[in-house]
Amino acid sequence: MGPESFADFYRAKRILVTGGAGFLGSFLCEKLLAAGAEVLSVDNYFTGRRANIAHLISNPMFEAMRHDVTMSLFVEVDAIFNFACPASPVHYQFDPVATTKVSVHGAINMLGLAKRLKCPILQASTSEVYGDPTVHPQTEDYWGNVNPIGPRACYDEGKRCAETLFFDYQRQHRVAIKVMRIFNTYGPRMHENDGRVVSNFVISALRGEPITIYGTGAQTRSFCYVDDLVDAALQLMATPADVTGPINVGNPNECTILDLARKIIELTGSSSKLVFQPAPQDDPKQRKPDISLARSVLEWQPTIGLDEGLRKTIAYFERRLVEGDLKR
């Protein structure tokens, strides 16, 4: 299912995007508008930024609302994308209680809204529900290996509980749900201080500063460019009601953190040196999605390779550095 096939699904529909000013949410708003939808972005701007959606404000089909999804929301829409939640350890560990509330209370409020409106709702879940996996690559039927009391649990368990709520609302209230498990995604508009590996490495390389690798660098991740990820979300929402997920969305091409650092140094022409620090608690050693289900159900797979995506991401941060827009 390509963009041309789901365009009719969104044309003239009113779509709510929670976390709409965030990294992923802002690209989702853009693509929904391009598909002919009317879009309501809801964000409390904890990690989202007005700058991410500033270019959309003049569009008469776009509306931005400042609102925290842990509070009830009463609007009239045809579909809901629930993307509201801090997604990097730096941000979700800043206030772990609030992070759990966003995942759990936010899910309850958005599911309640979907129940009242009888509209479909898509949950932006995460590969973190698999924890530090003992199965590789991770398939959707794997239940995970999560520390429920560790420093990452506010996010990991919050997202796991949100998935529980989604499926219980479907079983108990017949809410039309979609659950997408997002693996590492990168691209322009990433927050420069979110602690995520791609933005950290790119900014350090552009500044010629040491690049810090936690652990040996042998741990792996699979990096999906933002455009590919958002296309998958749009396609999943447009599937028939019996397609609920959970469904893995990410790039199955595995890369070690050490190789990623070396690649970014090469692409930026940087003189940065590598420095090593101890790995943080519960940091997954391997992360790679099995996307067989996405390939068969959505006819989706990533199209943008790591080098191409990194060049676009580097160009974004390079421009912001030139403009003096990046704070140390």
Q: Is residue 278 part of a domain?
A: no
In a domain? residue 269: no
**Quick check: is 314 in a domain?**
no
Going by C-alpha positions, the residue among 72, 76, 65 that lies closest to residue 106 is: 72
Active site residue: 10, 155, 169, 225, which one? 155
pTM for the full predicted model: 0.92
Q: Which domain holds residue 96?
A: 3-186+225-252+286-303
SS3 (DSSP) at 323: coil
Residue 69 inside a domain? The answer is yes
Q: Is 10 an active-site residue?
A: no
pLDDT tens, residue by residue, 2-54: 445 567 899 999 999 999 999 999 999 999 999 999 999 999 998 899 999 99
Q: Is residue 325 part of a domain?
A: no
The tally of domains found in the chain comes to: 1
CATH number for 168: 3.40.50.720
Q: Band of the pLDDT at 324, cuts 50, 70, 90?
A: confident
Within a domain: residue 218? no
- Look at residue 277 and tell me if it is in a domain: no
Is 273 inside a domain boundary?
Answer: no
Alpha helices in the chain (DSSP H): 3-10, 23-34, 50-53, 89-92, 96-117, 153-173, 197-207, 226-237, 257-268, 292-293, 306-322
pLDDT tens, residue by residue, 261-319: 999 999 999 999 999 988 777 677 778 899 999 999 999 999 999 999 999 999 999 99
